[in-house]
């Protein structure tokens, strides 16, 4: 389960002869194995009573207030106890972190978890919360804490789509899961339900577009509803929550603001490549002044049966209940645009922050996201949260704990809605407006003296749809007898077709005049726009999606740099190991002494490697593969931080100190100069889309 942040690039040297030694997995000791086992147990069937008696006993007997001295921040404990006494979101209710009251609940519980002095206190607190806190709030807060606590480093989280499947699968799938659970192993569950070799129930699932033809955007439902992609976005939020104090958790070391920008810019670039593959062209723009043309039919229900709100096509935002928020979001956006045009942000004390420096992206991103590092929360605020509520057509809460969030208001589901991309095209546009304040890179800044790329070789690129099974047993209730016979428990799985690609290798043949350390970057981007016209490079630069970024030790003379997609390109993640399989391996290691290997240097989840390439077309679709070799600029590692410790919040997750997205992050002054640089290369590539049967036939022959 290999995952890396979308833009926080790890230090990897990759080439045929000059590889940096990879970090080796270590054998987990008993302490680590018990931690991992307990984590999985805490997440198991969270909507039901915990079946693990030891955890239940700990949770019911533990008293937070009487153990105040076991937390590093007693004020955080007092704050939590105050909120808990006032009444936090109850069990059985929907939890949504974008609602202010529930956000404060989440902050309080996360702080409580985070400030536990040791593992024992943390575990006791988690057992208590498993008994008494709202189920989804518990999952969220515990997941965030595990990602950020040093004593949880290397622990795997069960994938969110297994813990809370309702956020990832349609109501149709959930309904079939209920039928299967009620009827058991019998053969009258319909054509879309059958039994696997392990006697599991397998539900064949399509995406929403097959059933309800709502609008053209549903052509892309295989991409926007991909569970790996949606979990990726949710995981990135948990690594860098908008509410989290960056100074306390070290997020400022990770260039938090730039992270926020580059995450969304790269998602948009990748989404645009998929649009082109389906003949759909530019991501539409929208205006708060006019009806929203793009509707959305989620076809989903929450675990308690409440349906997600629907947004009709040609949705009119100028409704009485929306007007106040509409004015509010327009005001905040106008202030952001004014700040960019003026070249400075007004701080709360009236002084100014300049936007004319490369590092100013941190200031701008912080006010757009509305995180605690914002220079002026009162003046700029978090317009994106208000915008999501408006565009999602969310239901007005009856009480502070009775909410009906839209898909846009959950990080797990927001990428399913086409308006997510239109909204963030708007916000990325703010950043592009700021980037125009910066001077374009000079020829000297773009060059790598003494290095020349002679040519780039790329194996044939083929995409296809394959099948993937996801266990969703947590979605259905189990009886006491079934819990008692866990080994004989019915497993319910969902089978989906997902975009994938054949393995491929990129070979970069270079010549260097001397030994030197460099950074190699690779991007895939469009050659033609939606109308079949060759793109202007300056206009096209933000449509390039980053495949790779790694260090390499050049030797004087010829260098052959090879990169294979099976080696896990930079920030991608292969499919997560199913929770049941991981849990069994851990218990076997504990009970039978088998080795369990863990690599603490890696977080849990990155961008799905399957989606590295756009779908392309049956007859082939042309794209560019862009490669640039740059001199190595050492990253700024905070004093006292271990360069090999790449955990979130340590500031050690960068391959160099250049801006994310370099060299496409600034306007290109001269296209002819850019295209003629010796250390850059644009390779024409063609991506073919085939049926899985065609690929298997070729392999067999």
For residues 578-590, give the mean pLDDT. 93
The arithmetic mean of pLDDT across residues 475-500, rounded, is 84
Q: What is the pLDDT of residues 65-124, one digit of tens each?
A: 999 999 999 999 999 999 999 999 999 999 999 999 999 999 999 999 999 999 999 999
57-78: pLDDT as tens digits: 999 999 999 999 999 999 999 9
Q: So what's the pLDDT on residue 568?
A: 62
Per residue in 174-189, pLDDT (tens digit) is 999 988 888 765 555 5
What percent of the chain stands above pLDDT 70? 91
User: Residue 18's pLDDT is what?
Assistant: 38
What span, in angstroms and rounded, lies between the C-alpha atoms of 370 and 629? Answer: 36
Mean pLDDT, residues 6-34: 54
Lowest-confidence pick of 87-91, 289-293, 366-370, 593-597: 593-597
Q: What is the DSSP letter of 614?
A: -
pLDDT for 398-441, tens place per residue? 888 999 999 999 999 999 999 999 999 999 999 999 999 999 99
Name the DSSP class of 111.
H
Mean pLDDT, residues 585-601 taken together: 83
Given this model, what pLDDT does residue 560 score? 97
- Position 480 scores a pLDDT of 80
What are the b/e assignments for 663-694, b being 16+ CB within 10 Å? bbbbebeeeeebeebbbbbbbebbbbbbeeee
Q: Does residue 16 register a pLDDT over 60?
A: no
Looking at the predicted structure, is the pLDDT value of residue 255 above 60?
Answer: yes
Q: For 339-365, how does the pLDDT look when each residue is reduced to its tens digit (9 = 90+)? A: 999 999 999 999 999 999 999 999 999
* Residue 623 scores a pLDDT above 80: yes
Q: Which residue has the tokens 């590889």?
A: 19
Q: Read off the pLDDT of each residue in 661-674 and give the average, rounded to a whole number.
A: 93
pLDDT over 90 at 8, yes or no: no
Q: Which residue has the higher pLDDT, 183 or 544?
A: 544
Grade residue 488 by pLDDT with cuts at 50, 70 and 90: low
Which residue in this structure is represented by tokens 């039919």? 297
Residue 7 has a pLDDT of 34
Q: What share of the chain is helix, strand, coil (3-state, %, to 5)?
A: 40, 20, 40
For position 701, what pLDDT does the model report?
44
In this prediction, residue 500 carries a pLDDT of 97
What percent of the chain stands above pLDDT 90?
Answer: 72
* Three-class SS state of 506: strand
Kindly write down the DSSP assignment for every residue of 225-244, as one continuous string.
T-HHHHHHHHHHHHHS-TTS
Mean pLDDT of 529-552: 91
Cα 440 to Cα 444, 446, 663, 666: the distances in Å are: 11, 10, 10, 6
pLDDT grade for 588, boundaries at 50, 70 and 90: very high
Give the residue carrying structure tokens 């080696």: 567
d(CA 539, CA 51): 57
660 pLDDT more than 50: yes
pLDDT for 311 equals: 95
- Residue 601: is its pLDDT beyond 50? no
Higher pLDDT, 568 or 220: 220
Say whether pLDDT at 213 is over 80.
no
The angle that helices 53-61 and 119-132 make with each other, rounded to 10 degrees, is 90
Residue 193 pLDDT > 90, yes or no? Answer: no
Q: How far apart are the C-alpha atoms of 221 and 141, rounded to whole Å?
A: 30
Rounded to whole angstroms, the Cα distance separating 335 from 700 reads 61
Higher pLDDT, 12 or 548: 548
pLDDT of residue 187: 57
Q: pLDDT confidence of 387, banded at 50, 70, 90?
A: very high
Torsion of CA 407, 146, 580, 130, to 10 degrees: -80
513: helix, coil or strand? coil
**455-471 confidence digits (pLDDT tens):** 999 999 999 999 999 99
Kindly give, in sequence order, each residue whose CB lies less than 8 Å from that of residue 627, ignoring residues fewer than 6 positions away.
453, 456, 506, 508, 520, 521, 522, 680, 681, 683
The set of residues, in sequence order, having a beta carbon less than 8 Å from that of 234 and lying 6+ positions away, is 160, 411, 412
- Report pLDDT for 240: 95
Please give the domain boundaries of the chain with CATH numbers for all domains. Answer: 47-158 (1.20.1370.10), 210-435 (1.10.1280.10), 443-460+502-700 (2.60.40.1520)
Average pLDDT over residues 159-185: 90
Task: Report pLDDT for 298.
Answer: 93
């Amino acid at each position: 389960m290999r995952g890396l942040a979308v833009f926080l690039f790890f230090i990897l040297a990759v080439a045929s002869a000059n590889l940096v030694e990879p970090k080796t997995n270590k054998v987990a000791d008993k302490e680590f194995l018990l931690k991992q086992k307990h984590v999985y147990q805490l997440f198991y069937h969270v909507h039901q009573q915990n079946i693990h008696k030891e955890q239940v006993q700990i949770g019911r007997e533990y008293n937070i207030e009487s153990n105040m001295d076991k937390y590093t921040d007693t004020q955080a404990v007092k704050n939590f106890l105050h909120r808990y006494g006032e009444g936090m979101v109850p069990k059985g209710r929907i939890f949504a972190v974008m609602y202010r009251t529930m956000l404060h609940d989440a902050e309080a519980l996360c702080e409580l978890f985070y400030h536990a002095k040791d593992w024992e206190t943390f575990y006791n607190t988690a057992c208590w919360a498993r008994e008494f806190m709202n189920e989804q709030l518990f999952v969220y807060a515990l997941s965030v804490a595990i990602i950020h606590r040093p004593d949880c480093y290397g622990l795997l989280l069960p994938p969110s789509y297994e813990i809370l499947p309702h956020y990832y699968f349609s109501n149709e799938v959930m309904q079939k899961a209920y039928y299967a659970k009620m009827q058991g192993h019998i053969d009258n569950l319909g054509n879309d339900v059958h039994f696997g070799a392990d006697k599991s129930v397998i539900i064949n699932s399509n995406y929403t577009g097959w059933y309800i033809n709502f609008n053209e955007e549903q052509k892309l439902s295989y991409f926007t509803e991909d569970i790996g992609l949606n979990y990726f976005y949710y995981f990135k939020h948990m690594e860098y929550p908008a509410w989290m104090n960056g100074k306390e958790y070290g997020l400022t070391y990770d260039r938090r603001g730039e992270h926020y920008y580059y995450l969304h810019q790269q998602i948009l670039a990748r989404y645009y490549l998929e649009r082109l593959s389906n003949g759909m062209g530019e991501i539409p723009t929208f205006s708060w002044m006019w009806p929203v043309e793009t509707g959305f039919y989620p076809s989903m229900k929450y675990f308690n049966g409440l349906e997600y709100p629907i947004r009709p096509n040609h949705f009119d935002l100028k409704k009485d209940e929306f007007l106040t928020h509409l004015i509010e979001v327009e005001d905040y956006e106008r202030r952001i645009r004014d700040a960019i045009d003026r070249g400075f942000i007004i701080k709360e004390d009236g002084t100014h922050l300049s936007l004319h420096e490369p590092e100013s992206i941190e200031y701008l991103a912080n006010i757009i996201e509305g995180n605690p590092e914002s220079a002026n929360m009162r003046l700029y605020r978090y317009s994106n949260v208000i915008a999501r509520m408006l565009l999602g057509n969310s239901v007005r809460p009856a009480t502070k704990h009775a909410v009906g969030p839209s898909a846009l208001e959950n990080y797990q589901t927001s990428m399913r809605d086409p308006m997510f991309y239109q909204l963030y095209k708007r916000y990325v546009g703010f950043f592009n407006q700021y980037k125009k304040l910066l001077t374009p890179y000079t020829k000297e800044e773009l060059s790598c003296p003494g290095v020349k790329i002679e040519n780039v070789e790329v194996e044939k690129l083929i995409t296809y749809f394959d099948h993937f099974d996801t266990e969703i047993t947590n979605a259905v209730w189990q009886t006491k007898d079934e819990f008692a016979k866990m080994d004989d428990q019915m497993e319910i799985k969902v089978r989906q077709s997902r975009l994938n690609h054949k393995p491929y290798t990129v070979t970069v043949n270079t010549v260097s005049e001397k030994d030197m350390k460099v950074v190699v970057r690779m991007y895939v981007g469009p050659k033609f726009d939606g109308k079949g016209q060759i793109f202007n490079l300056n206009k096209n630069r933000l449509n390039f999606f980053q495949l790779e970024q790694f260090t390499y030790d050049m030797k004087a003379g010829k260098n052959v740099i090879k990169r294979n997609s099976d080696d896990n390109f930079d920030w991608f993640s292969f499919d997560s190991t199913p929770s049941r399989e991981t849990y069994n391996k851990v218990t076997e290691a504990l009970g039978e002494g088998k080795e369990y290997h863990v690599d603490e240097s890696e977080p849990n989840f990155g961008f799905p490697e399957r989606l590295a390439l756009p779908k392309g077309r049956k007859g082939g679709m042309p794209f560019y593969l862009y490669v640039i070799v740059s001199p190595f600029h050492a990253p700024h590692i905070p004093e006292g931080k271990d360069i090999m410790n790449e955990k979130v919040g340590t500031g050690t997750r960068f391959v160099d100190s250049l801006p994310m997205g370099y060299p496409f992050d600034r306007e290109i002054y001269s296209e002819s100069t850019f295209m003629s640089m010796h250390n850059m290369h644009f390779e024409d590539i063609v991506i073919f889309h085939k049926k899985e049967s065609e690929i298997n036939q070729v392999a067999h022959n």
